Amino acid sequence: MLKKIASYWIGVLILLLIMAQFLQPDQTNPPADPSASFEAVARPPKELAGVVERACRDCHSNRTVWPGYSKLAPVSWLVASDVNEGRAKLNFSQWNIYSAETTQIKLREICRETMRLEMPPWYYLPMHPDAKLSSRDVAVLCSSGM
């Protein structure tokens, strides 16, 4: 009897997962104008640009590299939501939308959040070990020479 119930629910789950694949979020990257990028507008030191590219690009730019697993619902919904929110909060591909004041605010926030290990998010790191920040990386992000 229990086996029957378990089979029934496993069947329902599989069916829901199959149906969920038809509800995919938009994962098309918006255009990225190189002249509007962080590199072009802020002209950061090479090392800093490298850390940003390695640890922040996927969620905070229009050049997201969508991994294979991000195509499978419901993971696809979570990843798309994170990327959408990440771009809205800070977008290295559209650095020209920020004033000098906002730039300073954003840079301070980057420093604060990386120092507190709030960024990159812990759940992002297992699949993206390169994004793990060393203390040197955090120091670079917090450097005032930007």
Token look-up 């990257």 returns 29
Binding mask 41-80 for other proteins (x = CB under 8 A): ---------------------x------------------
Q: Is the CB of residue 142 less than 8 Å from the CB of residue 51?
A: no
Task: Tell whether residue 25 is a contact of other proteins (CB under 8 A).
Answer: no
- 98 interacts with other proteins by CB under 8 A: yes
Closest C-alpha among 107, 108, 103, 115 to residue 139:
115
Judged by CB under 8 A, the number of residues near other proteins is 21
Please report where in the chains the tokens 């450097």 appear, as a residue.
143
In sequence order, the 6+-apart residues with CB closer than 8 A to the CB of 17 are: 73
Return the residue of 12, 65, 74, 112 that touches other proteins, per CB under 8 A.
112
Q: Name the residues that contact other proteins, by CB under 8 A.
A: 30-31, 33, 36, 62, 84-85, 88-89, 93-94, 97-102, 105, 108-109, 112
